[in-house]
Structure 1
Amino acid sequence: MHHYLIFETVGGFCGIAWNDNGITRFQLPTKDAAAAERMLLRRLPNAEPGTPTPDVLEAVAAAKRYFEGQETDFSDIRLDLAGQEAFFRQVYAAARRVRWGQTTTYGALAKELGAGPEAARDVGQAMAKNPVPLIIPCHRVLAAGGKIGGFSAPGGATAKTRMLELEGVHVDPPQPAQQTFGF
């Protein structure tokens, strides 16, 4: 049985879902509580509102601190990633080691896992399907050359950039395909 809670942060309304084994879903901020609930329930249609466990309360408090701009470490939060394929679980474990204010790339994570550079796309797929963004900090994983890359959460790459800026990481905006010479 999955339970969930919608809560407010300075960044907007978030959602969190859990079962007896740990946190299973996290919804990044939306503008209103109804949108956060709708997006969370789209992935867990049978979840019911519930009384948060101490672990869930800690994750909620950590998310609130994060969106206030306080350095936050989510690495001890207990997750339930059952149902995720083994390679994705390895990617998520590696991504959880990327700390506040640090970034890595899809290719670097693939290499860390002993896979070749061609596996960077698979790492990207794992990030796109991350069930608990923020807790598994997929926003800290960039495309080659430090480019922002994709972000499947509400707000897309803009939200990813904002989250990195909260952590003091400056990411250059995407460059136009063709640059003009200055003469």
Structure 2
Amino acid sequence: MAHKTHYLIFETEAGPCGIAWSEAGVLRFQLPGESAETTRRLLLRHLPEAEPAEPPPAVAKAVAGAKRYFAGEAADFSDVPLDLAGQSVFFLKVYAAARRLHWGETTTYGTLARELGAGPEAAREVGQAMAKNPVALIIPCHRVLAAGGKVGGFSAPGGASSKLKMLALEGISLAAPEPAQQSFGF
């Protein structure tokens, strides 16, 4: 039986974010969007049955952390309970490894693959896990880079430009993405 899902749209200094949860934990996190309505639409695209609600304490703590994060303050999400039901065993391992990256730390897709004992050819699979990360920021996929310190992809609104902005909040400066990548703000 599926858990009932709830969500909250909340303001940060970077714009409105969204968070959805079940009894088991956070299911989805929507990075800042242009408007609360856009953020709500993007969040509910994946969880159309979710209903607005006041968050339980663990989710409220994640919301407070996100507000601090987008205000440029260090925030730690490593103890936020997650509901990652339906993810593959490999993706769960990738997500657990990425959660060990703290404020201001980065790694590469290849390094994460090697840490998981999967060899450098699995770097592409690590990238796929990051691209499908349902709880961006809480699982800090923005801290996982392509080889050579290149920004790599970012599937959130704003693409690589948003990834660079998030890293800049943490004091990490990288080269701007190639001009072919469009920027939509945060």
Fold shared per TM-score above 0.5: yes
- The equivalent position to 1:33 in structure 2, one of 33, 36, 48, is 36
TM-score, length basis structure 2: 0.93
SS at match of 1:159: helix
Aligned counterparts of 1:113 and 1:156: Cα–Cα separation in 2: 26
| Pairing of 1:1-20 with structure 2 (within 5 A) | 1-20=4-23
* Structure 1 unmatched runs, 5+: 177-183
- 1:157 is displaced (CA, Å) by 0.3
CA change 1:37–1:147 in 2 (3 A) is same
- The equivalent position to 1:147 in structure 2, one of 130, 147, 150, is 150
- 1:108 is displaced (CA, Å) by 0.2
Aligned counterparts of 1:148 and 1:98: Cα–Cα separation in 2: 16
Question: Could you list the per-position Cα deviations for residues 119-152 of structure 1 after superposition, in whole angstroms to 9, with x for gaps in the alignment?
Answer: 0000000000000000000000000000000000
Question: Could you list the per-position Cα deviations for residues 74-109 of structure 1 after superposition, in whole angstroms to 9, with x for gaps in the alignment?
Answer: 101111111111100000000000111010000000
TM-score, length basis structure 1: 0.94
Aligned counterparts of 2:34 and 2:17: Cα–Cα separation in 1: 9
- 1:174 is displaced (CA, Å) by 3.9
SS at match of 2:133: coil
**What amino acid is aligned across from residue 22 of structure 1 in structure 2?**
G
Aligned to 1:66: 69
Aligned counterparts of 1:116 and 1:140: Cα–Cα separation in 2: 20
RMSD value over aligned CA atoms? 1.0
**What amino acid is aligned across from residue 120 of structure 1 in structure 2?**
A
| Pairing of 1:1-183 with structure 2 (within 5 A) | 1-174=4-177
Give 1 or 2 for the bigger CA radius of gyration: 1
How many correspondences in the alignment? 176
Once the two structures are aligned, what percentage of the paired residues are identical?
68
